[in-house]
Amino acid sequence: MNDLRNNRDESQEIITLEGSNIKKVKENAKNNPDEFWTACAKNLIWFKEWDQVLDWNYPFAKWFPGGRINASYNCLDKHLTTEIKNKAAFIWEGEDGKTITVTYYQLFTKVNQLANALKKLGIKKGDRVTIYLPMIPELPISMLACARIGAIHSVIFSGFSSQSIIDRVNDAGSKIIITADGGYRRGKTIPLKSIVDEAIKDTPTIEKVIIVKRTFDDVHIGGKDIWYEDIVTEESSYCLSEWNDSNDPLFILYTSGTTGKPKGVVHGSGGYLTHLFNSAKWVFDFTSTDVFFCTADIGWITGHSYVVYAPLMHGVTQILYEGAPDYPNPDRYWKIVEKHGVTILYTTPTALRSYMRYGDKIPNSYDLSSLRLLGTVGEPINPEVWKWYFNVIGKKSCPIVDTWWQTETGGIMIGMCTGIENISMKPGSGTFSLPGIELEIVDEEGLKVENGKKGYLIIKKPWPGMLLSLWNNEERYKKTYWEKVSGSFFAGDFAYLDKDNYTWILGRADDILKVAGHRLGTIELESAFVSHPSIAEAAITSKNDDLKGEAIVAFLVLRKGIESSPHLDAEVNEHIRNTIGPIASTEKIYFVNKLPKTRSGKIMRRLLKSIVNKEAIGDISTLEDEASIEEINYEFNEINKQL
């Protein structure tokens, strides 16, 4: 089997943390869940206490029903009577090196002004607001302003294209889009407003487009457009927080699934914030002097949870960095760590792999001594990259938290709890699940597999951060997550437990790719390819990639009469960049006469994956459901003949 286990060194123990009572915490969570989660929820500020800890109407969990809470209040107002008030909430660094500090009080004021402005524009509790902004302070400000008035934010990563905006806005039925004139990426400007102009031709629910000035480029101003600064300047700096129900939606975040249409994952406030507050406390062990640098874009779940909500609830100072890790030079994160005295760095294996390529000299030329903890998220980390992170960046004195979780789980599910734990780390393993999180590794039948055996990762009990549902699609919610293994949440990842019960994540078990840590659905990509006039059929798979983890490979069948050519290759690639966004750039396109399919017409994507990764055919025979060995062998030979 060609999986990450081949590279892993389970026996290696790097360091042991001192002092802990994790066993007691975990036992209590298991034996007295109501008492345990009550104590966790009490770390937040509630306007009204809940009637019940959990209303579990399988598969819908309502955490703390009847409780009234506001996310913005918990991130901002609660600090105003403490010394945190005048402390930096965000240290924003632009790609050009410009720095702006926003204190908690300033953030509070800006959020309140925008909340009032949104109300004036007619936004009410439950309305949806789409946010399509680069990594600038107005992005978290917009999210918190929505939360304050009970509006539901739907942030779209600013690397997505017009079509992605159309799909997401129409599904959510948003009334407003908050965007910017443009954004900076590697010294170039991205014309965000023009992309929105293109999108809103097909989004009938949009009433207004609010534009933040970032690049100061000329933009087209139409009837729906208003400038951000014009609507906030005159507004009062106080807006009463809405007493949202614990289970009112706080946000929708679209993520790729196994069909062509992205899923609108819905999170509420009470359970979600409880999960975030406590997971951050256990895993990052925030203190008042921490400077936290989570490098994720807020357009993804890591940014929502660990750039915006969790750190702000804890009152820590955070770095908000606008640009790319390697711009203008491949030292940007290290430069930021030195300049701002970062104490915790939370980043992705892709970023680390790209830095590692440039050697140790670059990070060694910066003072990284402020770091006390390192984190990784989003994709499996190769042990050699883990060791580099530990030795070169952490100088052997910073623990590494390898945190596994998903858009759907809301917050971290597996990861070392440096705040309360005393265990040995193993490079490449996320270690154990967090208190109160009960996971298991099972086979096709849903039966627990022995330690050492690969299986599907499931979560056996509801947890506070879990998604409420999928927006407008309860059926899909039930089917995707709860029907594969009855009674448990199906995470869609392969994993195994080693002899010491450490968890090792082996990657996705479904048709979802992780390209540079970004989640992309194969079927979503295939639909984008066939929307090109020359393409009749498409099958997408991925190739292992030293840098991005996975790289997109496309097998395309052309329409009758169309000839393949390098020009067409480039044109198709450009089409994908325009339809989905630059993150969907294709590594390799194969034009083929026919795609390998099962008798029932299902594309054998795993077969293609084995071919591009030069794996033995035996490895996939059990994974191609519906196909016989003969069929797979036949298709394997046929497709190889064409390449």
Specify whether the CB–CB gap between 398 and 371 falls below 8 A. yes
Strands 588-591 and 549-558, bridge-based pairing: parallel
Residues 264, 256: Cα–Cα separation, whole Å? 9
Residue 508 binds ligand WTA, judged by CB under 6 A: yes
Residue 505 binds ligand WTA, judged by CB under 6 A: yes
353-368 burial, b at 16+ Cβ within 10 Å, e below that, comes to: bbbbeeeeeebeebeb
Residues 155, 133: Cα–Cα separation, whole Å? 8
Residue 251 binds ligand WTA, judged by CB under 6 A: no
Residue 77 or 379 having the CB closest to ligand WTA: 379
> With the C-alpha atoms ordered 176, 178, 182, 184, is the resulting torsion angle positive or negative?
negative
CA contacts within 13 A on the Cβ side of 384: 8
CB of 171 to ligand WTA, least distance (A): 18
Binder of ligand WTA out of 70, 113, 382, 403 (CB under 6 A): 403
Residue 406 or 542 having the CB closest to ligand WTA: 406
CA-wise closest residue to 536 among 565, 564, 559, 554: 559
Residue 347 binds ligand WTA, judged by CB under 6 A: no
Residue 631 binds ligand WTA, judged by CB under 6 A: no
Amino acid, single-letter form, for residue 574: E
CB of 300 to ligand WTA, least distance (A): 6
Q: Angle at Cα 144 formed by Cα 138 and Cα 150, nearest 5°? A: 135
Binder of ligand WTA out of 140, 257, 264, 380 (CB under 6 A): 380
Q: Which residue is nearest to ligand WTA (CB)?
A: 407
CB of 305 to ligand WTA, least distance (A): 8
Binder of ligand WTA out of 127, 181, 285, 402 (CB under 6 A): 402
- Piece of the chain touching ligand WTA by CB under 6 A; list 25-33, 235-243, 307-315, 402-410: 402-410
# residues near ligand WTA by CB under 6 A: 23
CB of 433 to ligand WTA, least distance (A): 12
The pattern of x and - marking residues 254 through 293 that bind ligand WTA according to CB under 6 A reads: -x--------------------------------------
CA contacts within 13 A on the Cβ side of 476: 17
Specify whether the CB–CB gap between 330 and 338 falls below 8 A. no
CB of 420 to ligand WTA, least distance (A): 19
Residue 53 or 491 having the CB closest to ligand WTA: 491
- Piece of the chain touching ligand WTA by CB under 6 A; list 272-280, 396-404, 526-534, 600-608: 396-404
Amino acid, single-letter form, for residue 410: G
Kindly state the helix (H) or strand (E) to which residue 35 belongs, with its residue range: helix 33-41
Residues of span 413-442 touching ligand WTA by CB under 6 A:
430
Residue 84 or 352 having the CB closest to ligand WTA: 352
Which residue stretches of 267-406 are H helix? 270-284, 301-303, 310-314, 332-340, 349-357, 361-364, 383-388
Residue 116 or 279 having the CB closest to ligand WTA: 279
Residue 315 or 411 having the CB closest to ligand WTA: 411
Specify which residues 100 forms β-bridges with: 92
Binder of ligand WTA out of 247, 302, 354, 429 (CB under 6 A): 302
Specify whether the CB–CB gap between 494 and 508 falls below 8 A. yes
CB of 2 to ligand WTA, least distance (A): 17
Kindly state the helix (H) or strand (E) to which residue 107 belongs, with its residue range: helix 104-120
Residues 523, 530: Cα–Cα separation, whole Å? 11
Q: Encoding tokens for residue 98? A: 């410009």
Amino acid, single-letter form, for residue 411: G
CB of 365 to ligand WTA, least distance (A): 29
Residues 450, 215: Cα–Cα separation, whole Å? 56
**DSSP 8-state symbol, 296:** S
Residues of span 512-541 touching ligand WTA by CB under 6 A:
514, 519
What is the residue whose two structure tokens read 């927080």?
A: 241
Residues of span 12-41 touching ligand WTA by CB under 6 A:
none
Residue 407 binds ligand WTA, judged by CB under 6 A: yes
Residue 430 or 465 having the CB closest to ligand WTA: 430
- Piece of the chain touching ligand WTA by CB under 6 A; list 114-122, 481-489, 505-513, 584-592: 505-513
Specify whether the CB–CB gap between 340 and 445 falls below 8 A. no
Specify whether the CB–CB gap between 299 and 157 falls below 8 A. yes
Interface residues toward ligand WTA, by CB under 6 A: 255, 300-302, 377-380, 402-407, 430, 491-493, 505, 507-508, 514, 519
